[in-house]
Amino acid sequence: MTQIDVDKCKMTHYPAAVLGRSAEPVEQIDETIHRLVAKMTDIMIENNGVGLAAPQAGVGLRLFIISLDGSRENVRTYINPTVTTAGDLDEKEEGCLSVPGVWTKIRRHMRAKVTATDLEGNEFTEEADGLYARCLQHESDHLDGMTVVNRMGAAAKIAHRRQLKKLSERQ
């Protein structure tokens, strides 16, 4: 596992290279992973999010957090998650903390199932629908090197081209 300087972790914006690569599995849940999750929670809350994947904090590991109400108390950790989808597709407006200023319609499955490990090393499986299913799919995308930019249609890319160009120039 790569060395992680948790103190240097910060919100990472499109088109940062870490956002476009598949993340590596977490090999060991140690003090560094606990500190990383705490830092990711701070970043998510500061940015008014409901989920954050490790690549969004600049770390290429298969780990994300979700708190559907955006609160620290309800943060759940998903280490080395596997997300499978089911049900019909639904198109809803979606934003991403790594692509600020862009909200676009994204088609996602209405149901999902996740199997992951928590911070205590316990494996769990949950079924999800609605916002929870959408969040699982969104954060799982980040672990596979995808952002909402990869999922938006041609018309949306044209509509958001100025903001995407601005983000690209900031890198």
Question: Are 28 and 152 in contact, with CB atoms under 8 Å apart?
Answer: no
Phi and psi at 95, nearest 5°, equal -120, 175
Q: Which residues contact 17 (CB under 8 A, 6 or more apart)?
A: none
Question: Active site includes 139?
Answer: yes
CB count within 10 Å of CB 162 equals: 9
Q: Which of 93, 94, 139, 169 is catalytic?
A: 139
Q: Which residues contact 31 (CB under 8 A, 6 or more apart)?
A: none
Which DSSP string corresponds to 123-167?
A: EEEEEEEHHHHHHHHHHHHHHTT--HHHHS-HHHHHHTHHHHHHH
Active site residues: 139
